[in-house]
């Protein structure tokens, strides 16, 4: 694959921009790094590492990421009153692929005041598999309640509560009261404001909401709010297997 095309696929600009970056000596390939001045020189992209203007990068045919979403960010490319989560990512991840749908997309959404595990990808099939209701991918939420919870509230959430816009009861896949105001809730659907609406229908109120797990993937304790990392091949495989 031509080096120019490798850079373009990874989000380092248009093909013309990538051509110029290489010709001007801003791209070094491999470790510790050998400057390449030929945009058309071919490399095996699998496992390839390179630097663009000093920025280290590794080739990924598809992007699969996890982000620890902080509070105060919207999962939108055109946010309103709050910044978008995409501003927390480096430029190449926002531009890779080019075109109108360039960059990675959030796999589902979290409200601006909700924190925790957010997956992002540029693989449309993966996004569909993870968000389609028929695949029932479990998502675990840590809920801070306004009022102390009771066993009856847990029973209602497990049995199913009726939301205002849907006569069909919505059930929690699992529900455990870990402390008087700490509820751990597992859902396999993704309705609008679902956790908040379910808890309200069960007679309480959500004061804080944090997603700690998707499928078999836990939010790592060492991934701080606002930080991101690539998913490993094993993590991607486990998500697809469950979807």
* DSSP type of residue 21: H
Q: How many residues does the chain have?
A: 243
Q: Round to whole Å and give the CA distance between 41 and 239.
A: 36
| Integer Cα distance of 61 and 123 in angstroms | 10
Active-site positions read 111
Q: For 171-174, which contacts have Cβ atoms below 8 Å and span 24 or more sequence positions?
A: 172/198, 173/136, 173/138, 174/138, 174/140
Question: Which spans in the chain are helix H?
Answer: 3-10, 15-23, 91-95, 124-131, 151-159, 194-201, 233-242
**Which long-range contacts link 2-6 to residues 24+ away (Cβ below 8 Å)?**
2/39, 2/40, 2/41, 2/42, 3/27, 3/29, 3/36, 3/38, 3/39, 3/40, 3/41, 3/42, 3/43, 4/39, 4/40, 6/43, 6/45, 6/48, 6/50, 6/59
Q: Is 169 left (phi over 0), alpha (psi -120 to 50) or beta?
A: beta
């Amino acid at each position: 694959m031509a080096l120019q095309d490798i850079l373009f696929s990874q989000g380092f600009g248009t093909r013309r921009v990538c051509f110029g970056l290489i010709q001007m000596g801003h791209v070094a390939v491999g470790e510790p790094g050998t400057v390449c001045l030929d945009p058309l020189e071919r490399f095996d992209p699998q496992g390839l590492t390179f630097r663009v203007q000093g920025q280290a990068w590794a080739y990924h045919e598809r992007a699969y990421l996890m982000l620890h979403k902080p509070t105060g960010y919207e999962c939108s490319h055109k946010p309103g009153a709050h910044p978008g989560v995409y501003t927390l990512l480096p430029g190449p991840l926002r531009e890779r692929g080019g075109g109108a749908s360039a960059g990675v997309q959030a796999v589902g959404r979290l409200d601006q005041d909700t924190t925790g595990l957010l997956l992002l990808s540029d693989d449309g099939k993966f996004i569909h598999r993870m968000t389609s209701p028929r695949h029932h991918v479990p998502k675990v939420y840590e809920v801070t309640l306004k009022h102390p919870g009771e066993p009856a509230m847990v029973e209602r959430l497990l049995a199913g509560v009726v939301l205002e816009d849907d006569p069909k009861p919505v059930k929690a896949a699992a529900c455990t009261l870990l402390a008087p105001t700490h509820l751990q809730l597992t859902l396999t659907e993704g309705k609008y404001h679902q956790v908040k609406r379910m808890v309200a229908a069960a007679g309480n109120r959500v004061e804080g909401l944090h997603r700690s797990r998707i499928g078999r993937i836990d939010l790592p304790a060492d991934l701080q709010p606002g930080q991101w990392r690539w998913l490993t091949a094993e993590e991607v495989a486990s998500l697809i297997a469950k979807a």
